[in-house]
Amino acid sequence: MAQSSPLDVLLKGSSGQSTRGLLRIIILVTIAAAAVASRLFSVIRFESIIHEFDPWFNFRATKYLVQNGFYSFWDWFDDRTWHPLGRVTGGTLYPGLMVTSGVIYHILRFLTIPVDIRNVCVLLAPGFSGLTALAMYLLTCEMSTSPSAGLLAAAFMGIAPGYISRSVAGSYDNEAIAIFLLVFTFFLWIKAVKNGSIMWGALTALFYGYMVSAWGGYVFITNLIPLHVFVLLCMGRYSSRVYISYTTWYALGTLGSMQIPFVGFLPIRNSDHMSALGVFGLIQLVAFADFVRGFLPGKQFQKLLTSMILLTVGLGFGGLILLSISGVIAPWSGRFYSLWDTGYAKIHIPIIASVSEHQPTAWPAFFFDLNFLIWLFPAGVFMCFQNLKDEHVFVIIYAVLSSYFAGVMVRLMLTLTPIVCVAAALALSGILDNFLVMTKPNPESRAKATVEDSKSLRPTRDPVVGIYSYFSKTVVTCSISLYLLLFVAHCTWVTSNAYSSPSVVLASRMPDGSQFIIDDYREAYYWLRQNTPDNAKIMSWWDYGYQIGGMADRPTLVDNNTWNNTHIATVGKAMSSREEVSYPILRQHDVDYVLVVFGGLLGYSGDDLNKFLWMVRIAEGIWPDEVKERDFFTARGEYRVDEEATPAMRNSLMYKMSYFNYQSLFPTGQAVDRVRGTSVPADSPQLNTLEEAFTSENWIIRIYKVKDLDNFGRDHNNAVAFDKGLKRKRASKKKGPRVLRTE
Partner 1 sequence: MRFFTATVLGLLAPSLAAATNLTTLSRLTLPSDFKPAQVFKNTNLVRNINLEKSYVRETVNVVVENVDTQPQSDYYIPFPADVIDRVGGFEVRDKKATGKGRFEVSAVEVISSGNQYFLVHFPEPLAPKSQITLGISYSVLSSLSPLPATIGQNDKQYLTHSFSAYILSAYQTITQKTKLKFPTTDVPDYTTTDGLKSGADPERKGATYTYGPYDTAKVALGTEYPITVRYEFTNPVISISLLERDLEVSQWGGNLATEERYWLRNNASQLTNQFSRVEWTFSSYQKAPTSALRELTYPLLPGSVDAYFVDDIGNVSTSRYRPGTAKTGANLELKPRYPIFGGWNYSFKVGWSNDLSAFLRKVAGTDSYVLKVPFFQGPKMAEGIQYERVVVRVILPEGAHNVRFETVEGASSNGLPGANHIHASLSSLKTYMDTLGRTTLTLEVNSLTDEARDAQLVVTYDHTLIDILRKPLTMFAGLLTVFVGIWFIGNIDVSIKKR
Query: Which residues form the interface with partner 1 (CB under 8 A)?
Result: 46-49, 111-114, 505, 517, 519, 522-523, 525-527, 529-531, 551, 661, 664-665, 691-697, 699, 705
The rounded distance, in Å, linking the Cα atoms of 400 and 382 is: 12
Which residue lies nearer to partner 1 by CB, 67 or 664? Answer: 664
Nearest distance, CB of residue 107 and partner 1, angstroms: 13
Nearest distance, CB of residue 297 and partner 1, angstroms: 39
Residue 361: helix, strand or coil by DSSP?
coil
* Residue 267 β-bridge partners: none
Nearest distance, CB of residue 602 and partner 1, angstroms: 13
Contact residues for 74 (Cβ-Cβ < 8 A; gap 6+): 90, 95, 261
* b/e code 461-496 from CB counts within 10 Å (16+ = b): eeeeeeeeeeeebeebeeebeebbeebeebbeebbe
Torsion of CA 222, 228, 230, 234, to 10 degrees: 170
* Residue 596 β-bridge partners: 702
Which residue lies nearer to partner 1 by CB, 48 or 496? Answer: 48
Which residue lies nearer to partner 1 by CB, 140 or 532? Answer: 532
The rounded distance, in Å, linking the Cα atoms of 433 and 480 is: 12
Nearest distance, CB of residue 553 and partner 1, angstroms: 8
Which residue lies nearer to partner 1 by CB, 307 or 664? Answer: 664
Residue 49: helix, strand or coil by DSSP?
coil
| Closest by CA position to 228, among listed 62, 381, 400, 27 | 400
Nearest distance, CB of residue 80 and partner 1, angstroms: 16
Which residue lies nearer to partner 1 by CB, 521 or 541? Answer: 521
Nearest distance, CB of residue 206 and partner 1, angstroms: 18
* Amino acid at the residue 616: V
Nearest distance, CB of residue 340 and partner 1, angstroms: 42
Element (H, E) at 679: strand 678-679
- For 496-619, where are the E strands, in sequence order? 506-509, 515-518, 537-539, 591-597
The rounded distance, in Å, linking the Cα atoms of 65 and 276 is: 33
Which residue lies nearer to partner 1 by CB, 638 or 697? Answer: 697
Cα–Cα distances (Å) from 298 to 284, 304, 305, 738, in that order, read 20, 10, 10, 94
Nearest distance, CB of residue 657 and partner 1, angstroms: 13
Nearest distance, CB of residue 527 and partner 1, angstroms: 5
Cα–Cα distances (Å) from 610 to 67, 651, 656, in that order, read 39, 17, 14
730: exposed, middle or buried (Cβ count in 10 Å: 0-12, 13-18, 19+): exposed
- Phi, psi (degrees; rounded to nearest 5) at 12: -120, 155
Nearest distance, CB of residue 656 and partner 1, angstroms: 16
Residue 419: helix, strand or coil by DSSP?
helix
* Amino acid at the residue 428: L
The rounded distance, in Å, linking the Cα atoms of 177 and 166 is: 10
Which residue lies nearer to partner 1 by CB, 618 or 687? Answer: 687
Which residue lies nearer to partner 1 by CB, 146 or 695? Answer: 695
Nearest distance, CB of residue 403 and partner 1, angstroms: 40
- Asked whether 413 and 445 are in contact (CB, 8 A), the reply is no
Residues in the chain: 743
The rounded distance, in Å, linking the Cα atoms of 91 and 76 is: 8
- Asked whether 126 and 40 are in contact (CB, 8 A), the reply is yes
| Closest by CA position to 171, among listed 48, 60, 50, 44 | 50
Which residue lies nearer to partner 1 by CB, 46 or 220? Answer: 46
| Angle in degrees, 0-180, between the axes of helices 413-435 and 175-195, rounded to the nearest 10 | 60
**DSSP calls for 166-226:** TTSTT--STHHHHHHHHHHHHHHHHHHHHHT-HHHHHHHHHHHHHHHHH-TTHHHHHHHHH
* Residue 619 β-bridge partners: none
Residue 606 is classified by DSSP as: S
Which residue lies nearer to partner 1 by CB, 238 or 527? Answer: 527
The rounded distance, in Å, linking the Cα atoms of 106 and 65 is: 11
| Closest by CA position to 293, among listed 305, 281, 282 | 305
- Phi, psi (degrees; rounded to nearest 5) at 573: -65, -40
Which residue lies nearer to partner 1 by CB, 231 or 518? Answer: 518
- Phi, psi (degrees; rounded to nearest 5) at 327: 90, 5
Which residue lies nearer to partner 1 by CB, 172 or 220? Answer: 172
Which residue lies nearer to partner 1 by CB, 153 or 528? Answer: 528
Nearest distance, CB of residue 507 and partner 1, angstroms: 10
Which residue lies nearer to partner 1 by CB, 32 or 690? Answer: 690
Which residue lies nearer to partner 1 by CB, 6 or 114? Answer: 114
Nearest distance, CB of residue 692 and partner 1, angstroms: 6
Nearest distance, CB of residue 421 and partner 1, angstroms: 32
The rounded distance, in Å, linking the Cα atoms of 432 and 655 is: 61
The rounded distance, in Å, linking the Cα atoms of 416 and 414 is: 5
Which residue lies nearer to partner 1 by CB, 625 or 723? Answer: 723
Nearest distance, CB of residue 266 and partner 1, angstroms: 36
Nearest distance, CB of residue 699 and partner 1, angstroms: 7
Nearest distance, CB of residue 715 and partner 1, angstroms: 20
Nearest distance, CB of residue 143 and partner 1, angstroms: 28
**DSSP calls for 445-476:** HHHHHHHHTTTS-HHHH----S---HHHHHHH
